[in-house]
């Protein structure tokens, strides 16, 4: 509403490089306000406007979240049209329960690869990588689901990547 309040009102959005998180927010805004009707077009438009080399949102998870926003916007439009057809509040509740926006399919996480390996003081401290996965349903409810602690060990300078074994089924993001 603030942007609509006065034509001189603007919003400034920025992150470190001005392409990843900024691109997600701006592309999502363009979807939400119906300036673009799909996430690919919104992301492409952002990239073209941001730079001459078409450099925009590159991180797959950030691009995926823009697709979630698209599904929410389109789902809301569909839900609105279904609600108009519903005759009772029970029908509206039933329709809204059937709408899903996130990926419900489980994924298998075999390992997490660190490449290149972060620079450590190999002579004194070695390397002690840890992989922990939590289920966080709120900021007060954080449960450890998985932990891979391979202990402290030393790596030679020839080692170019490190794999932390997970062997885990995960859901959602």
Residues labelled as active-site residues? 15
Spatial distance between the Cα atoms of 27 and 42, rounded to a whole number of angstroms: 5
In order of 10, 35, 108, 165, the CA distances from 5 in angstroms are 10, 19, 48, 53
């Amino acid at each position: 509403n603030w942007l609509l309040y006065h034509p001189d009102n603007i919003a400034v959005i920025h992150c470190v490089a001005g392409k990843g998180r900024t691109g997600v927010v701006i592309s999502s805004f363009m979807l939400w306000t119906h300036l673009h009707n799909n996430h690919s077009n919104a992301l492409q438009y952002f990239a073209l406007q941001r730079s001459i080399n078409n450099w925009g949102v590159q991180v797959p998870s950030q691009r995926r979240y823009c697709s979630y926003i698209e599904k929410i916007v389109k789902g809301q439009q569909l839900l609105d049209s279904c609600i108009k057809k519903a005759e009772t509040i029970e029908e509206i509740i039933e329709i809204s329960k059937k709408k899903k926006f996130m990926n419900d399919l489980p994924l298998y996480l075999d390992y997490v690869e660190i490449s290149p390996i972060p620079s450590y003081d190999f002579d004194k401290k070695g390397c002690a990588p840890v992989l922990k996965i939590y289920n966080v349903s709120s900021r007060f409810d954080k449960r450890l689901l998985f932990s891979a602690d391979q202990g402290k060990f030393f790596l030679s300078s020839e080692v170019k990547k490190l794999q932390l074994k997970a062997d885990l089924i995960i859901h959602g993001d």
